[in-house]
Amino acid sequence: MPKKSGPRIETATIDELIAFQNGGGTIIGGTPGGQEFYFSPSTYYVQPKIDGEKVRDTLENEFVARGIDDITGLMFSEEPVIQAYNESGEEDTELGTQMMKDFEAVDLLETISDPGLLSDVSDVQMFNKMKLCFKDIYSWGPFLCQVKWKKQNDGWVKPQRITRLPPETFINPPPDSVQYYSGEILKGIGLRNGVLEFWQTQVDSHVHKLEGVIMMRDPLMPGVSGKSHVLTLIPTVSILNFSNKAEVQKVGRIGAPSLFIKFTERPIVNAQRDDVALAKLIIQNWGKESQFALRENMDIVKLDFADNQSARLFMADLKKDIADHFNPTRILSKEGNTIGGNDAGKVNVLNLAMQNIHLMITKLWQPIAKMYLNLNGYDGYTVKITLPVPKPDITTVNVQVAEAGDRMGVLTLNEKRKSIGFPEADEKLKAEIEEERKKRAATVPGVFMPGAPPAGSTSQPGEAPDEEEEQFEEDGENWVREKEMMLFPFPNEHAARMVDPDKLENMWSESAGGGVRRIMGYYTGTQQVTVQAYRFKTSRFTVTQAKAWLKKKGKHPIRFEPASGD
């Protein structure tokens, strides 16, 4: 944690002072030539001791707190389902429904008018407690609670309250630690002669032993009370906090620079005058709002602290490290020595992480649900708690697969239909689909069938085509049906290439009017349309005129090719 040295004053040479400000260490010693520099030592970073207090400080960091909240919300988006099974393994749906109702019971405190009835308030809310269970296990290692059961007037025994016990209240050890073993973080949870004990620090600041505590923890984690998942973040958060403080100090230094007082002559120290005491007073009270009068043997020496981006970039990296800690898909990447990833891979990894966490949490809570069955005489019954995993919407992915298969010619019609969830087509339906494709080819841009130009390839609305354009539209040989025809200008056209044709698919031509036509196309694998090239008829445009037209329209081609017959 950051430490600041005491108020002592040191002396050093100016070179030593600069080295000290750059991390050179503590300086003690005299100076040559009778000159003395007085200064106050700076703040430095010390690796923090990891204990319960440090874990609590780390959890209060805004980035850590936000990360835990985000991953909890991600993992627990749907309420649990409780299923009860009889001795024969058959599901008792009515009992399961009743249990789900009883384990979510809660009374609104606003409806309780008599304070004496507060002890009878129901506060079970198992789903919320499950989320708190995950957060506590992730943050501290264990989830601690007490369950209160109450027999109803109808004879049923139901949970009345599940009370969470904050793990941070178990930081302190018991008064008597003889033959007591605990971890370094939660010292109030330990073993004595093989028996688990719970010691809680309560509002009276004393440590009290608790009975009837239920502890849930990750079975894969070591230690009496498990292990916090944020321990690895403590150094990162500590450095981030230190860096934030250093940035604030740097801002202060730029406004009120760090200074040193140099005595050009030996300081006078007697009953009437004390130059050293005045120098100390000036340094200790230096600020933007303070002014001091220097004596004739005093000079000010200021260090130049320039503001730069390196510290802020470093802190940005630390914040990213914290965010990545809470990202289940961080092992997927398109760069470096990692698995390599895409959206489908991220979905799979996220689902796997959800399933593992759900399995752990539900297994921890099933014994409490089983106690419900035992207390109500359902001997031989079993219970299962499940947390649904949201099904991802992969419609877009499936459509992309179908489109890619269609472009590459590697999928049959029924394979494409299957990938987007459609049933297989019989021969009659296949014929109808083929007929529909032919009809769409005449009206939909980018769909090409023999003898039919793509839609949008006529003159612009409201603009009458000239005779040459009419002739062009009637001439089927001039219609663009193959990408190869986009690569070179025709003998009677200048070409201004806007986009590399290799980046496009489903290309077509349309009139821009006045002897100009546009070559259009879709970016490969998308529905985004762009202009691939402009073509200018040599009967209407010279090379200079075509370039002037482009400049006037604000078009910037990547390549201009005059007509081959020009």
Q: Nearest CA to 208 among 181, 180, 169, 178?
A: 169
- pLDDT of 20 reads 41
Residue 171 lies in a domain: no
- 477 and 518 in a single domain? The answer is yes
Q: What is the pTM of this model?
A: 0.56
Contact (Cβ atoms closer than 8 angstroms) between residue 487 and residue 561: no
- Residue 87 covered by a domain: no
Q: Helices 343-375 and 126-139, interaxial angle, to 10°?
A: 120
Given a cut of 80, is residue 322 above it in pLDDT?
yes
Comparing CA positions, the residue from 78, 9, 64 lying closest to residue 358 is 78
Pick the closest to residue 429 from 446, 440, 411, 417 (CA basis). 417
Are residues 467 and 549 both part of a single domain?
Answer: yes
- Whether 144 is in a domain gets the answer no
pLDDT tens sequence across 223-239: 889 999 988 888 888 88
Which residue range(s) make up the domain with 481?
A: 452-561
255 and 285 inside one domain: yes
What pLDDT, on a 0 to 100 scale, did the predictor assign at position 392? Answer: 60
**Tokens describing residue 26:** 């503590």
Q: Is residue 102 part of a domain?
A: no
Upper half-sphere CA count for residue 382 (Cβ side, 13 Å)? 8
Element of type H or E holding 536: strand 529-537
Average pLDDT, stretch 117-145?
A: 86
Distance, CA of 81 to CA of 369 (rounded, Å): 12
* pLDDT higher than 50, residue 37: no
In a domain, 192, yes or no: no
How many CB atoms lie under 10 A from the CB of residue 117? 11
Q: How does DSSP assign 188-226, residue by residue?
A: TEEEETTEEEEEEE-TTS-EEEE-S-EEEE-TTS-STT-
Q: Encode pLDDT of 350-387 as tens digits.
A: 888 888 999 999 999 999 999 999 999 999 999 999 99
Give the pLDDT confidence score for residue 122 in this predicted structure: 77
Same domain, 505 and 433: no
User: Which among 442, 465, 463 has a CA at the least distance from the CA of 454?
Assistant: 442
* Matching residue, tokens 């302190």: 172
Longest dimension (CA), the chain: 116
Lowest mean pLDDT among 169-183, 285-299, 462-476: 462-476
Q: How many domains does the chain have?
A: 3
Residue finishing a domain among 312, 336, 364: 312
